[in-house]
Every structure is written in C-alpha cells, then in structure tokens.
Structure 1
Amino acid sequence: MTNTDLYLRRVEGIIAHHGHAVQYVGGDPDTGAPPFAYTVGLHTRPDRDYELAVSGLRAETSQALLNTLSAAFADRDLAPADGLEISGILQGGLAIRLRPVSRPEDLGIIYAIYRTTPPVWQALWPDQRGHFPDDDRCRLPLQAQALL
C-alpha cells in the first residue's frame, strides 16, 4: 500500500466520522500562490451536491471557516448560488460571498476518493471594510486570495 493510499484511507475515516474532511494545500512561496482548502465528502450528504473551498487563509482558519459555513448551510437550509452572501460566519458582522470554482477537477482528493467531481463553491472573504476581491475598493492585495 502506498503513502497515497494510506492518506486517502485516513481522509475516508475522517469523512466517516465527521461527515466530511477539510483538505488543506499550502501556498507556494516561490510563485506567491496562496494556500487554499476545500471540503471532501460534503456532497455525499443528503440535500448536498457540492463541496466548499476557501483561499488565502491558514490551515486552522480555513478548517474552522469551512466547517462553520457547512453547518450554516444545513442550519439555514441554504443552497449555494453565485454571489450569495452569508452573514454571521465571520467576526465583526462581515459576510462571506460565494462563487463557483472554475476548475473543481483541480481539487484532486475529491476525485481520488469518489471518482467524480461535484460543483465546488469558493467562499470569498472581504477586507476589513467588507469589500470583496472583485470590488475596486477592496484593500486586500491581489495575491492574498486566489480565485480558484
């Protein structure tokens, strides 16, 4: 059994226990690519046909955000949609905005386990004044949050 097989079994165990796992991918200091994270297994739950992702945050922050966002979708009976803003997730009353991930097949652990790639929705986080990366008034550097 390869290290990859062992890792996938570990992820499958987390999914079996918690309903989904969060896969974190560290950034690349050579290229300046920020880190990102995504859920694995969420799409197998009833009434969910998607996964969630976030970019530019540390591992612990990414995991907490994706877990909280996942719970908010279930608790509020929400369905993801392009531009949907969800409040009550971030401190300070700031909202999260969703956008579809343009190449969900690049999130390889999902495919490695399920041999399919469901839609993936990226949670964009705003700057301190509530402006998102696609807003000219946003004060976040362009490289802070890659659009997946």
Structure 2
Amino acid sequence: MFGCVADECTRRQLTKFTYQHMANILWSFGKLGYRDDRMIGMVCSELIGRGLGSISAQSLCPIVWSIGRVDGAVDGSVVEALFGRLEELVVGDIEPRHLFQIGMFVRWADVHGYGANVPDRVRGCVGGCEDSGVL
C-alpha cells in the first residue's frame, strides 16, 4: 500500500504539495515503521529545492522525526541543511513535542555518522530528553 502512495506522489509531483502534506505523508510512514528511501529522498529533494528558510517547526519536525523513526537514508548535504534550519527554529519558541521529534533525528544522526553535523544549540535543546531516557 505504501509503495502505491509513493508512486502516486511521484506521479503528482511533490511541487504541488504543501510542507504539511509532505510532513503528513512521511509521518504516516514513520508511525507505522515503513521505510521508503525513495519517498524520503523525494521529500528531502523538494524541501531543499524550495529552500528551508520558511518552513515552520510544525512542518519540519514531523519530517525529521520520520527520517529518524524509519531509519531513512539521507544525503549528508541534506542532513546539514535540515540541522541548519532546526538550529534557527530552536532559538525561538519551540513546542515540547518538537523537542522529541528533533531528538529522534539527532539520535539517527549520531547512529549514522552525522553527529558532527548536529549544531550545539540543537543538541543542547534535546539533551534533557536523552538524559531522561526518553530517547
């Protein structure tokens, strides 16, 4: 079923999707533990193509959580860009639920050798989650 969803997204082109649409699709994949690197790649390519400067925490955090949840494969330059935007977002007022989602992505980055890409501000904001055993 999820393969059909990915096929349909390809056919319709993600350029017509909002950030929230992309977040919802990847969140559903992550929630059910279904890994589809093609879908993750399409969403990441579209995000980078649009630029991450205007994406909100509400849209970005479910995407990075999904990548961490399904153990998705992501290019290093995309990881760096995602963490760059997350660093901008954590300076502002961020909701507690987003901290957990970011924490999943930080954990994924550490496991996959991208730990050096995690900005100190991002790691610091989720440090409490890691210390408490939540992550």
Give the alignment's TM-score, normalised by structure 1.
0.31
Greater share of strand: 1
Question: Larger relative CO (CA 8 A, sep 6+): 1 or 2?
Answer: 2
Greater share of helix: 2
Give the alignment's TM-score, normalised by structure 2.
0.33
